Amino acid sequence: MSGLAMMLKARGFEVSGSDSRDGPELAPLRGAGIEVTTEDAAPLPEGCSMVIHSAAIPPEHPELRSARRDELEVLSYAEALGRLQSTRSGISIAGTHGKSTTSGLLAHVLVEGGLDPDVIVGANCGQIGGGWRLGAEQVPGRGPLAGSPGLMICEACEFNRSFHHHQPRIALINNVEEDHLDIYEGIEEIIEAFRVFARSLPPAREGGFLLIAHEGAHRLQVASGLDCKVETFGFSPGADWTFELHDGTVGLSDPDGVEVASWRMSMPGPHNAANSVAAAVLARRVGADWDDIERAIEGFEGLDRRTQHLGSRELGDGGRVEVVDDYGHHPSEIELTLRALRESFDPRRIICVFQPHQHSRTRFLLEQFASSFELADLVIVPEIYFVRDSETERHKVSASDLVDRLNTKGTTAQHLHPFETIVDRLEEVCRDGDLLVSMGAGPVWEVTHAFLGEAGR
């Protein structure tokens, strides 16, 4: 929402907004001249003609009620994004995991390659100037899209089928797994939602292109019978674009089996290698040179809260603790991230502060969560971050339920709250050689920043 607000402001719209709480995240908006209130019942601005809301805002929110009463146009975030995309050459990045990393990396590659895209990404990426970027009105004069309306990179989230409102010309589907089970009945409904998304691409003769993972994306159900051009990527020899990962270096081969590029990974883990390959193939598709792609990927500094190494803290006894923050809030993400951290840092112990995101997700995936922390030596669980769910759902599962399941499966875990109590506990348990990682889509990053002695963001 912040990126969309900033982009609309840059395009000449008068923009104001509201949020549930104040914080440093709102400073850039205010710095750009966007008035932001944190009052729940604040009246809509005089002369307001449109209200755009995120998926987290319930229909009964006072501002939405006011908008309907005044017969204003009301759009969801995804609907507004789709309208913007309709004026550009849209690139939508979809998948259960890796959307922000792949979007940010692709944006960085295209900027470095001189292709000057618009960007809205769901995390702060310092190398593109934040979570958004305003690019050229037309694609620069090289590559297959030269002279077309400017490129626009957007994350395409499957929650509530919001990505069905996108209007892309090019799309990626990284992976498809069970998530958002408060919306979907199960994996078959999720697969169908991705298939509907893929069908929104224009036919191949109009430049429609889908890149989909060869493994893990249910490609046969999602991509069969599409009118757009479809290519796959993966470790498997059956993929169109194949890659290998050896000692942190990716080697990428094209559909003819010729190795066309290689780069040293700046982010740990095979999942990030796959993200980099997807970004490379898409960048090449829209006209980037392989030399620029290799150089940009190797120089990518990552995004905030995506396996972000915050630094280290020296302990009183002279020991040192490395500190990482990560957005992972799904069992698969957690398991992959912990494995990558174990291999990259080789710590004595991993101490993980994990804040579950949504009561419904925690309840539906409780057993998967309980199995995803095997590589952690201690897991500290604060209260579940309450968002989007009903009060009824809130009482169906608790943080203690997750802690009990973790301990039953042999992972040492404890429930502590509030964050200040967790920081006090970390002061007691952290030892030389430990790696401390905060994980979750809520404000759990405050714990690791406080441990490092920072006031926050």
**Residue 347 included in any domain:** yes
| d(C-alpha 333, C-alpha 346), whole Å | 19
Compute the half-sphere exposure of residue 318: CA atoms within 13 Å on the CB side of its CA: 0
Secondary structure E strands in 192-272:
209-213, 229-234, 241-246, 249-253, 259-264
Residue 58: predicted pLDDT: 86
Same-domain status, 118 and 7? no
Compute the half-sphere exposure of residue 42: CA atoms within 13 Å on the CB side of its CA: 14
| d(C-alpha 414, C-alpha 161), whole Å | 35
* Structure token digits, residue 443: 């404000």
* Structure token digits, residue 52: 């755009």
Domain total of the chain: 3
Same-domain status, 64 and 84? no
Average pLDDT, the chain: 93
Residue 56: predicted pLDDT: 81
Q: Which candidate, 304, 343, 339, places its Cα nearest to that of 325? A: 304
| d(C-alpha 187, C-alpha 99), whole Å | 19
Q: Which candidate, 413, 335, 414, places its Cα nearest to that of 369? A: 335
Those residues whose C-beta lies under 8 Å from the C-beta of residue 305, and which sit 6 or more positions away, are 123, 124, 325, 326, 327, 445
Same-domain status, 436 and 354? yes
* Structure token digits, residue 111: 């900027």
Residue 454: predicted pLDDT: 55
- The CA radius of gyration of the chain, in Å to the nearest whole number, is 22
**Residue 61 included in any domain:** yes
* Structure token digits, residue 383: 């209260």
Mean pLDDT by 10 residues, the chain (457 residues): 92 92 87 89 87 89 92 95 94 95 96 95 88 92 88 94 95 95 93 97 96 96 96 96 95 97 93 96 96 97 91 91 95 94 95 96 95 97 92 94 96 96 96 97 95 64
CA distance readout (Å), 315 to 260, 318, 426, 437 = 47, 5, 11, 16
**Residue 303 included in any domain:** no
- Exposure string for 281-309, b = 16+ CB within 10 A, e = fewer: bbbbbbbbebebbbebbeebebbbbbbbb
pLDDT tens, position by position, 142-161: 788 999 999 999 999 999 89
**Residue 431 included in any domain:** yes
Same-domain status, 360 and 240? no
Same-domain status, 157 and 96? yes
C-alpha angle 267/273/275, rounded to 5°? 95
